[in-house]
Chains A and B, each alone.
Chain A
Amino acid sequence: MKKNDIILAISLVIVAIICAIFIQVFVKKDGNVAVVSIDGQVYKELSLNENTEIDLDHTCGVDGYNVLVIENGKAYMKDADCADKVCVHQGKISKVGETVVCLPHKVVIEIKGENTELDGVVQ
Chain B
Amino acid sequence: MNNNSRRIAVCGVLTALALIFSYIEALIPIPIGIPGVKLGIANIAIIAVIYIVGDTEAIIVNILRIVLTGILFGNLYSFLFSLAGGMLSVILMILVKKTKKLSMVGVSIIGGVTHNIGQIVAAVFLMDNVAIAYYLPILIVAGVITGIVIGCVCQLATKRIAANFKA
Residues of chain A whose beta carbon lies under 8 Å from any beta carbon of chain B = 1-2, 4-5, 8-9, 12-13, 15-17, 19-20, 23, 27-28, 97, 117-123
Partner of B144, one of A1, A9, A28: A9
Chain B residues with CB under 8 Å of A27's CB are 134
B12 at the interface (CB under 8 A from A): no
B132 touches A12 (CB 8 A): no
Contact with A along B142-165 (1 / 0, CB 8 A): 011001100110000000000000
With A1-B105, A2-B106, A5-B109 known to touch, is A119 a contact of B131 (CB < 8 Å)? yes
Which partner residue on chain A sits nearest B34 by CB separation?
A122
B32 at the interface (CB under 8 A from A): no
Contact with A along B103-122 (1 / 0, CB 8 A): 10110011001000001100
The majority secondary structure among interface residues of chain B is helix
Distance between A85 CB and nearest chain B CB, rounded to angstroms? 21
**Tally of A-B Cβ pairs under 8 angstroms:** 80
CB pairs A–B below 8 angstroms (6 shown): A4-B103, A13-B141, A13-B144, A16-B136, A17-B137, A120-B132
Please, how many residues of chain B have a CB less than 8 angstroms from a CB on the other chain?
Answer: 34
Chain A residues with CB under 8 Å of B152's CB are 1
Bound Cα distance from A1 to B156, whole angstroms: 12
Partner of A8, one of B35, B77, B106: B106
Distance between B31 CB and nearest chain A CB, rounded to angstroms? 15
Partner of B102, one of A2, A20, A117: A2
Partner of B129, one of A2, A16, A23, A120: A120
The majority secondary structure among interface residues of chain A is helix
Distance between A109 CB and nearest chain B CB, rounded to angstroms? 19
Residues of chain B whose beta carbon lies under 8 Å from any beta carbon of chain A = 35-36, 77-78, 81, 101-103, 105-106, 109-110, 113, 119-120, 123, 127, 129, 131-138, 140-141, 143-144, 147-148, 151-152
With A16-B137, A17-B137, A117-B129 known to touch, is A123 a contact of B106 (CB < 8 Å)? no
Bound Cα distance from A23 to B140, whole angstroms: 14
